[in-house]
Amino acid sequence: MELNNEHHLPNTNLFKGRDWTDKKAVDSWQVFKILAEFVEGFEKMGRIGPCVSIFGSARIQPGHPYYTLAIQVAEALAAQGFGIITGGGGGIMEAGNRGAKNAGAYSVGLNINLPFEQVPNPYIDRELLLQFDYFFVRKVIFVKYAQAFVVMPGGLGTLDELFEALTLIQTHKIKQFPIVLVRTDFWQGLHDWLANRMLAEGFISPEDMHLFRLVDTPEEAVSMICGHYMQESHKVNF
């Protein structure tokens, strides 16, 4: 449908001097940049086998118990034949890639370009380091090529990835895959809030509480993921 250019924004101080159509040409060219990120991601990730995405705080330093645990989880998953995908930065992301590198598995980094610059960690396979300007493109790659999500303690970005996956599974936009939250003492409060508020007030269904599981050890995480794929085939999610 052709837009009627005779419609105008109100002539108020809020909109005075601004022309919304000024960005039209810029937005059109931006589509090609977005497409290029999708193409590179699909081509590179399509060449490797089943992977698990590991999420968690970038603020964790080497030597922290969470950092050490993330290495162990990645190593245990790699021993079962999984590559490891992380956000490419430091903290838990670095630990995940480090564990993959230790075990000789594919070590993927989906790095996001930020104003304060997220520096890729040194444990990513050079040919599997992808750079993104757009969070939404990056999130598609995380979900499309992951056979499971392992969610370590983290902040808002970690929660963003967690609830993105839960929503896509709940709405049947992607197939159900294991979502493992590691460290019960960290995640129990969120679990209880979902149960005592969202579920209790009818905003989610009882089966939604079974879309994820809390664990404490690498062995539990691997057992849950491998147990799922004893019954399901490995394939991309859409």
Distance CA 66, CA 97 (A): 14
pTM of the model: 0.89
Mean pLDDT of 219-235: 92
Helices of type H across the chain? 24-45, 65-79, 92-103, 135-144, 156-170, 184-193, 218-229
State the average pLDDT for the chain.
92
| pLDDT tens per residue, range 134-175 | 999 999 999 999 999 999 999 999 999 999 999 999 999 999
| pLDDT tens per residue, range 176-188 | 999 999 999 999 9
Instruction: Give the per-residue pLDDT at 173.
Output: 96
Selecting from 3.90.1170.10, 3.30.70.60, 3.30.930.10, 3.40.50.450, what CATH number does the domain 22-229 have? 3.40.50.450
- 92 pLDDT higher than 80: yes
Tell me the CB-side half-sphere exposure of residue 47, using CA atoms within 13 A: 9
Distance CA 21, CA 61 (A): 46
The structural domains of the chain, with segments of one domain joined by +, span: 22-229
Could you tell me what percent of the chain has a pLDDT over 70?
89
- 21 pLDDT higher than 70: no
